[in-house]
A and B are shown apart, each in its own frame.
Chain A
Amino acid sequence: MTDAPLTLNINGQDRRLGAVPDAERLLDTLRWRAGLKGTKEGCRTGDCGACTVLVGGEPTLSCLLLSREVTDEPITTIEGVATVPIGRAVIKAFAEAGAVQCGYCTPGFVVALAAQLGRSTTRPDVETLIDGLEGNLCRCTGYRAIERAVELARKAVP
């Protein structure tokens, strides 16, 4: 196992992250080396979606990726999503819809929804957007408020 220095492009910046073991997951690199703890650690088996980040703009489970696999692609975490207009609109929609309870799953939902809203020239309809959240688990809200947040966010994003 080598622990070679690793540089990742995170939220638009090249971050030199020191010597990172080959087997380290992107989730752990983001949280414990880059200090970006808005990406949440859930199941670590790809079942809950709490650790969703954007890799090359696509929603990706950071618990299932090795950090060394993503040196060529830009990574955007919730901290990055929260600074762009679509991300801010989604966050506002979640807050207004009462879709945030314990909030642990929320950053993952926000990243997954913002990615879909920002993806293409044609806006997906609400049902398609909801389908896109099938990989994210929420234990508090029963999802109905999240669906209301999706509707609000879709209206808010031009």
Chain B
Amino acid sequence: MRSDAEPKARGAVEYGADLEAPGMLWAALVRSPVAHGRIVHLDLAPARKMPGVVAAVGPDDLRTLLPKAALEAERPVFPLQEIRYLGEPVAAVAAQTLAQARRAAAAVKLDVETLRVDARIEDIFPEWPSAASAHDPHVVGHVHARYGDVDGKFRTADLVHSETYRTSGVHQVAIEAHACLAEIRDGTFCIRSSTQTPFGMREDVASVLGIPESKLLVEGSWVGGGFGGKGSAFLEPYALLLAIASGRPVKLALSYAEEFELGRTTLPAIIRLDTAVSRGRMVGRRVRLLLDTGASLPGRDFAVGYSIGFLLGPYRTEAYEIEGYALQTNKPPFGPHRAPFAPQSVFALESHIDGLARRLGTDPIEFRRLHAWRENDRTAYDQPVGPFGLEAGLEAAARTAAVWRTGLPAGHGIGVACGFWSTGVGAGGEARLFLQPDGLVILEGEREIGNGSVVQGLAIVAQRVLGLPASAIRVQYGDTATAPFDSGVYGSRTLAALGQAVEKAARNLEKSLASRVGVPEVRLELKNGQVVVVAGRRRQKLVDLLTPAERAAGGLESHGKHYGAEKKVDASRVLEGTVYPYNDFAASVHLAEVEVDRETGHIGVVRYAAFQDVGTAVDRTSVVSQVEGGIVMGLGTALSEEMMWTPEGRLANPGLLDYRLPRIRDAPPIHVDLIEGFAGAGPFGAKGIGEPPIIPVPAAIANAVADATGTRVFELPLTPERVARALKLL
């Protein structure tokens, strides 16, 4: 059982939203009323005169409060001139109470010269972009790659299947909104924040404020849901700036409306797919992707460069051409959200393949199996595929689908979809273990964010290596000054990558103890609250094996590091921009049964099954709950979650009333089948599993709808209105 479960259920752990410090002020942001404009005049004086206000800071204060580098940052804390999205913070105030801070923020005078708003992809490219489009100033990223004789494949094809798909903006909606607290302690800038990446946060904040990292300390709080949304610097620079200006601790926490309006989220996309088929097989593909990246910086085309490979799928591809554009629009910048953009890419690809299989009269599962990657196949960028459970997942799914198919009621349909994910095992991390006479402490810089990978996963790794009972192992959290470096909780990497560092540190401990006893290997036990070192029949108390210095220090310390090898793509295939190497693949195969209301277009999810390649399930309860959680989050993406912007760039639904999340009665029965035996790079063959379970969900639902109705829906989410339109009911 997870050690954090009971304290959390009792309400006894401190999240970012709960942070408090003596003499603390509350902050509020002054936000732009327009989506695109130039600041003509910004006057903070009226705010400074309001009751309770202690400090107000804007662009001018960057000059006086921070080193020169803060003004030269690629994107300074506050816009010096150009406002790029509605709600963009242009100033901030700190007051005795939150209500006073909000009233003062509203009193700031801001004159803006409005500029043309490009809120949507269609505002920039009403037609598909041509070769000249790459020079359009809105194009902040352009990726183009090609392999094989793609023109020849299309020329000689028996059939070409061509479709266009659209996807919508989706918010992470962690139940805890972003919150942080900044203060200055003995000349050090200290940030406590609900963050997935304390060390990344330190780097980001130092860079945007122009201060050295050595002057900055970041301490993670418990995180009330992350899902990719609580990574790099966001509120922290504003809070720290106010702490510097006021000399007091400053708390900044977003309201849900702000959370939605400022969200670094998944943004809309248009995806065009063409597939050439010869003799019943897919032999060539063209992919074109227009991805809205909001007010993202030029040259940061990670989103499009990373996503585009998912549009080729976990399938053998003889020839392809892929081209993607990242488009700057007047929305908040694109941000990571649990397998960034993969559920959307896979919705398009797996819908497309499904339709193609049906067009060819082939069973959709069998059609996928024909093309599925197997171990030692090569990816689109010529990387080797390691042990990969896709084919095994498809075979298991086929058996379940056959059972479901028997006696399937009229109006119901069954859909299948596959996904793959590259887990971030390359990102580095270090572990420090401290073996005390009464148990083991694992020191970490990042808090558990929810999935269990830190509090449970790392503890189990140490437990398996050393043999101690779970009750004798404790994860203890430090800050960026006291804890060993780690890249953070993202990319499904924590157990798979940081776990390797913990495994090494534990093995070092074991080796050190074995050499003291004079045997090749030892195991640890806990007896009467004491750690005992067991070598064959010999048992010795740990304390008796420690040196005087170790005894004085309270125990034996051990370190482990994991820095993954850099993977390379075949550069000859890349004509423009950057594509990213993938590694350590996890396969997912999902099945959904739906019931479609032929009058309203409402989709009911009757049952669901997931066949998830996990390498090795290190903790079954955690993995199953993770898979179920990913699926239900994916049902939101599939069915109801959609951020809607007006042509003026205003988010029309910044709250839970109009942005509908799945509730408990929306969760269907879910059968989770963990596929083991295709070892990943993580400890004991574990693969990262945080993100994979969300990936195939929208596609599985869409394919089930197509199976039930014979009609395909080409846009996410599949709201009753879209389904009704597709069925020509509207």
Question: A residues within 8 Å of B by Cβ?
Answer: 21, 31-32, 36-45, 47-48, 50, 77-79, 82, 90-92, 94-96, 98-107, 110, 130-131, 133-134, 136-147
Contact = CB atoms under 8 A, between A and B. Distances in A.
A146 B639 CA distance: 22
A48 B9 contact: no
Given A43-B656, A142-B670, A50 B175 contact: yes
Interface string B427-454: 0000000000000000000000111100
B321 to A, nearest CB: 38
Nearest to B4: A103
Interface centre among B9, B224, B664 (most CB of A within 10 A): B9
Interface in B445-469: 449-452
Contact of B632 (A32, A98, A142): A142
Given A98-B625, A102-B225, 14 more contacts: A42-B175, A91-B9, A98-B5, A101-B625, A101-B626, A102-B174, A102-B224, A103-B8, A106-B8, A137-B661, A141-B632, A142-B667, A144-B667, A147-B664
Contact of B11 (A90, A102, A107): A107
B1 A139 contact: no
A45 B449 CA distance: 25
A136 B471 CA distance: 32
16 contacts: A21-B99, A37-B11, A43-B256, A95-B5, A98-B621, A99-B625, A104-B8, A104-B174, A104-B175, A130-B664, A130-B665, A134-B664, A138-B664, A140-B629, A143-B632, A147-B664
A95 B6 contact: yes
Contacts, number: 172
A-B pairs with lowest CB-CB distance, top 5: A38-B11, A103-B8, A104-B224, A102-B450, A142-B632
Interface in B217-249: 222-227
Nearest to A23: B99
B622 interface: yes
A53 B661 CA distance: 22
Contact of A94 (B9, B256, B449, B656): B9
A142 B225 contact: no
B459 to A, nearest CB: 15
Given A38-B10, A98-B622, A139 B18 contact: no
Contacts of B450: 101-103, 140
A116 to B, nearest CB: 13
Contact of B631 (A44, A101, A142): A142
A146 B632 CA distance: 13
Contacts of A146: 664
A137 B628 contact: no
B17 A139 contact: no
Given A142-B630, A143-B632, A42 B664 contact: no
Interface in B9-25: 9-15, 17-18, 20
A131 B628 contact: no
A138 B664 CA distance: 8
Interface of B: 1-2, 4-6, 8-15, 17-18, 20, 99, 173-177, 222-227, 255-256, 449-452, 621-622, 624-626, 628-633, 655-657, 661-665, 667, 670
A40 B224 contact: yes
Contact of A103 (B222, B633, B665, B667): B222
A106 to B, nearest CB: 5
Most central of B10, B11, B17, B177 by chain A CB within 10 Å? B11
Contacts of A38: 10-12
Contacts of A131: 665
Nearest to B97: A21
Residue in B4, B176, B255, B622 whose Cβ sees the most chain A Cβ within 10 Å: B176
A102 B5 contact: no
Nearest to A39: B11
B10 A43 contact: no
Main secondary structure of the interface of B (DSSP, over half): loop
A44 B175 CA distance: 11
Contacts of B662: 142-143
A94 B256 CA distance: 27
A86 B224 CA distance: 25
A47 B173 CA distance: 12
Nearest to A96: B1
Contacts of B632: 141-144
Contact of A101 (B11, B173, B629): B629
Contact of B656 (A32, A37, A45, A104): A45
Most chain A CB within a 10 A radius of its CB, from B5, B177, B656 = B5
Contacts of A95: 1-2, 5-6, 9
B663 A142 contact: no
A41 B175 CA distance: 9
Nearest to B12: A38
Given A104-B225, A142-B633, A40 B176 contact: yes
A41 B628 CA distance: 25
Given A44-B256, A98-B624, A78 B11 contact: yes
B224 A92 contact: no
Contact of A137 (B226, B657, B663): B663
A134 B225 contact: no
A106 B4 CA distance: 12
Given A134-B664, A142-B670, A102 B449 contact: yes
B114 to A, nearest CB: 30
B273 to A, nearest CB: 30
Contacts of A104: 8, 15, 174-176, 224-225
B175 A141 contact: no
Nearest to A41: B17
A147 B669 CA distance: 10
Contacts of B227: 139
Contacts of A141: 625, 628-629, 632
A4 to B, nearest CB: 17
A100 B667 contact: no
Contacts of B631: 142
A37 B14 contact: yes
B463 to A, nearest CB: 18
A141 B631 CA distance: 9
A43 B176 CA distance: 8
Contacts of A82: 9-11
B5 A103 contact: yes
Given A130-B664, A137-B175, A139-B173, A47 B657 contact: yes
B17 A40 contact: yes
Contacts of B624: 98, 145
Interface centre among A95, A106, A144 (most CB of B within 10 A): A144
A139 B14 contact: no
A71 B270 CA distance: 55
Contacts of A110: 9-10
A19 B449 CA distance: 37
Nearest to B179: A41
